[in-house]
Amino acid sequence: MAQLSNTLPRVAEPGLRRTPLYEQHADLGARLVPFAGWEMPVQYEGIREEHAAVRTHAGMFDVSHMGEVEVEGPGALAFLQRVLSNDVAKVEVGGAQYSCLCNEDGGVLDDLFLYRLGGDRYLIVTNSANHGADLAWLGRWSRQLGDVAVRDVADRYAMLAVQGPHARDTVTRTLGIELPPRMRVATARIGNRPALICGTGYTGEDGVELLIDPEIAPAIWAELLDAGVVPCGLGARDTLRLEVCFHLHGNDLTPDRNPIEAGLGWCCTEGTGFVGADAVARARREGTAETLVPFTIEGAGIPRQGNPVLAGGEEAGSVTSGTFSPSLEVGIGIAYVRTDLAEPGTAVEIDVRGKRRPARIASKPLYQPKG
């Protein structure tokens, strides 16, 4: 064996942060790995079992490493309309919306969810690896536009994603709270502390994301565990999101790619004049050289990030995320390919460490959740 170093359990590295649920993960025998500066559980019992639990029952993920940013003030809407790609004016109080954060060239700095908590009060949930850079970027634009405060509130929340066909009824029964519908946010009291419940997720299944007081997170985790919710790590989180073709920033989205080539034109409203709108409008009008598409391997082989995509023996793209799909039991991935190859059904090959594996471009999602 070789190259095991990226999968080995490690001792805590200096500077790695731990979530409020670290002890719970350690007690459950989780394999903990460094992830975006945090020591996070990648799996407990096994990725396939955890994956299946979310597809058929209910699983929970500690995603406390994700960042939260509060945006408040009379200028909040104008500010968000400027920095986010989607039409923020459409978000009602209690609503949620997915957006890109773009640079002036239309490159994707981050992808994130926005929740409207009050008239001029919003919450943004960032990817942990980008949280610091997002804050700096948002801070700069807020000072330029004025009448808005941007606050880092990441330390105020632990975040638990409970996902799966039985997630909602289990959370309702266990915590005794009403849940908002999909794509809505509600305030509640959990563990007698203020909390936010979001009808969102990253698995394709129904469920909620709970933003709770870090102090009560261990007790809530224990209650859900007792109720039969299966603890799931980042490994299953990745296979689940890839089956339903949700983007992972840093892999599938980068500051060098615009939302149009990433297939995120649907969350860009260039008419709002957001930062990067001109570049995005040009990409939409003129088309892009490459397009992000899902694909399925036909036969053996598991694609991985960085594998070349071949068409007619020539290099025609690159895999940005690849894995073994536990639901489909076949290698799947997403890749930027030459736009003329992006049509679903197109046959390509993936160069998996020197072996050419036949693959076919597919449509989204690769796996249809049964609900």
Partner 1 sequence: MTLAEPTYPDDLRYHDQHDWARIEGEVATFGITWYAQDSLGEVVFYDPPEAGSTVEKDATYAEVESVKAVSDVIAPLSGEIVEVNEALADAPEKINEDPYGDGWLVKVRLTDPGEAEQLLGAADYVALLG
Distance CA 123, CA 117 (A): 7
Min separation Cβ 7 and partner 1, Å: 5
Q: How far is CA 175 from CA 91, 169, 195, 220, in A?
A: 28, 10, 12, 8
Q: Of the two residues 80 and 240, which places its CB atom closer to partner 1 in the complex? A: 240
Q: Based on CB atoms, which residue is closest to partner 1, 2 or 136?
A: 2
CB of 173 to partner 1, least distance (A): 29
Is the N-terminal amide bond of 308 cis, ω within 30° of 0? no
d(CA 296, CA 294): 7
* Shortest Å, Cβ 121 to partner 1: 39
Nearer to partner 1, 107 or 235 (CB): 235
Nearer to partner 1 by C-beta: 264 or 297? 297
- Around Cβ 69, how many Cβ atoms within 10 Å? 21
State the nearest-atom distance from the C-beta of 184 to partner 1, in Å. 33
Question: How far apart are CB 95 and partner 1 at their closest, in Å?
Answer: 35
Q: To the nearest whole angstrom, how small is the minimum distance from the Cβ of residue 46 to partner 1?
A: 5
How many helices and strands (H and E) does the chain possess? Answer: 8, 19
From the list 18, 55, 53, 33, the residue with the least C-alpha distance to 225 is 53
CB closer to partner 1 out of 285 and 353: 353
Output 259 or 326, the one with its CB closest to partner 1: 326
Binding positions for partner 1, rule: CB under 8 A: 1-4, 6-9, 31, 42-43, 45-49, 235, 238-239, 300-302, 304, 323-324, 326, 331, 353, 355
Enter the tokens of residue 129. Answer: 């690896």
Q: Is the dihedral of CA 116, 240, 43, 223 positive or negative?
A: positive
DSSP 142-160: HHHH-S-EEEE-GGG-EEE
